[in-house]
Amino acid sequence: MAVRTQVKFYYDILSPYAWFGFENLCRYQKPWDLDLQLRPMNIWKIMSESGNTGPWRNPSKFSFMNRDTQMVAEMLDLPYKPSSNFAEAAAVRGSFPTLKTLAACQILYPDHLEELSRQSWLGLYSRDIDITDEGNIRHFARAAQIPDVDKLIEFSSCNEAKQQLVDNTTEALDSKCFGAPWYTVTNPTTGKREKFFGHDRVEMLGWVIGKEYKGHHPPQ
């Protein structure tokens, strides 16, 4: 029996580019028979440890990002709407409560982590709502059809969920991650691991593992 290609995808909901890479990669999960492992991580810890800086601290980068994200979303056919105050959403509110919930979902309901992540991104970058508000997080969980929302929310405050988030972030840093989205891909034949950064690396990922990239909407 063929061994599936393992892809670990590291992300924080604060990054719209992580959403774009996530959706494109998910579209290739079945066609390429990927063992896709989602790893929510703390982008602030990543930035701090790697010496990277956010786009809101660079006017040229921030101005470019506004139009660039809109074009990428249109290309991928995603219902993206820029945050009305990205600096506040990223630098003031952050995403820690959401990340803890995603880490809790990774432990309790791993089969629902993909959809909970998607619903969280839709909240921030389609409906422009506060993803740190518990009521909104509960809404995301219900939309993701989490079996027991109360259990998920309660567990997200436990040390085990917090430690899972720390472990994910440490794992990313150990692989030299400096931003999101970040991927590590292990070739099932050679065991060699490659690393990728950016929403537009899915085609290169396919090239590395010998799979054909067939556009942003591949046949399933």
Kindly list the domain boundaries of the chain, sorted by start residue. 5-209
Residues 29-39, mean pLDDT to the nearest whole number: 96
- CB 103, CB 165: distance < 8 Å: yes
Nearest to 5 by CA among 52, 27, 47, 37: 37
Among 22-36, 105-119, 178-192, whose mean pLDDT is lowest?
178-192
CB contact set of 200 (below 8 Å; sequence gap of 6+): 21, 72
Residues 41-61, mean pLDDT to the nearest whole number: 84
- CB 70, CB 80: distance < 8 Å: yes
Query: How many Å apart are CA 199 and CA 125, to the nearest integer?
Result: 15
pLDDT at 1 over 60: no
Phi-psi region of 164 (alpha: psi -120 to 50; beta: other; left: phi over 0): alpha
pLDDT at 178 over 60: yes
What band does 64 get if pLDDT is binned at 50, 70 and 90?
confident
Query: How many Å apart are CA 34 and CA 59, to the nearest integer?
Result: 38
- The pLDDT assigned to 92 comes to 67
Residues 93-112, mean pLDDT to the nearest whole number: 95
Q: How many helices (H) and strands (E) are present in the chain, helices listed first? A: 10, 4
Return the CATH number of the domain spanning residue range 5-209: 3.40.30.10
- pLDDT tens figures, 114-173: 999 999 999 999 999 999 999 999 999 999 999 999 999 999 999 999 999 999 999 999
- CB 108, CB 155: distance < 8 Å: yes
Q: Give me the chain's average pLDDT, please.
A: 92
